[in-house]
Amino acid sequence: MTPRTVRRPSATADLPLPAARRRFRRLLLGWYGRHGRDLPWRRTDDPYHILVSEIMLQQTQVDRVLPKYHEWLEKYPSLDSLARAPEADVVRTWYPLGYNIRPRRLHAIARESVERFGGELPSDAETLRSFKGIGDYTVGAIRSFAFRQRAAILDTNVARVLLRVFPGGGDPRSHATKKRLWRMSEALVPRRHVFDFNQALMDLGAMVCSARRPRCLLCPLNRMCASYPLDLERAAPPAVPARRPTARSRRTTAS
């Protein structure tokens, strides 16, 4: 008797179809062109400046980060200047953002970058991930925002958008769901306009597809969103935690 062949589901079986991906990108980029936030770290491709902004934005609102971001870069304009500063001064400069493990890790990244790479941040994912304090989200942010590489991001805001537009069932907080969301984010990233696309995903989650009061009527994706109109009492929670100062974290992930 010929044994039956067991077909395992493809890794792409739970991903949006190509036509849906194209529509998602087109609608999101069009919305971002009209409504995207003008933030100072979006006007630079300096990897260090982007690293600073990403670590400051972990569990901290944008309006609190803005003044400190400018103050920090005036005092420590480069990885080399930060590496040479005493740690106590670095922590004092960080005040009052809190979570003081973050400035210590940023300081350690600066010192390591000087020792290993002459005060520069590398552009490849594997080397970036070797830094303690740089997790998957931050790797994607640095690669896509500083080096304009095709790299995915996944933070709380991005996860919320993807879970609502393309729900897949299962426990939204499980490791399996997080892996699926990473695959989905990677599949959705376009080959061009990566910077704008990833920024748009984060802005949509922060400004429209929010956790408590989503503005579904204003969402550019509402006609393709499987959760529209959203019933918050039945809506699933985000699949990944808010960005925290750990080695693994979007969006917005990264530590």
Catalytic residue numbers read 54
For 124-132, the CB contacts below 8 A with 24+ separation are 125/151, 132/105, 132/108, 132/247
DSSP alpha helix (H) spans, 118-252: 125-129, 136-141, 156-165, 175-188, 194-207
Q: What is the DSSP letter of 217?
A: G
Q: In whole angstroms, how large is the CA radius of gyration of the chain? A: 19
Q: Which two tokens stand for residue 30?
A: 């069009």
Contact 237, 172 (CB under 8 A): yes
CA distance 225 to 255: 29
DSSP alpha helix (H) spans, 76-134: 79-84, 87-94, 101-117, 125-129
For 229, half-sphere exposure in the C-beta direction (CA atoms, 13 angstrom radius) is 4
Helix (H) or strand (E) holding 75: helix 62-75
Tally of residues, the chain: 255
Contact 138, 41 (CB under 8 A): no
Contact 177, 168 (CB under 8 A): yes
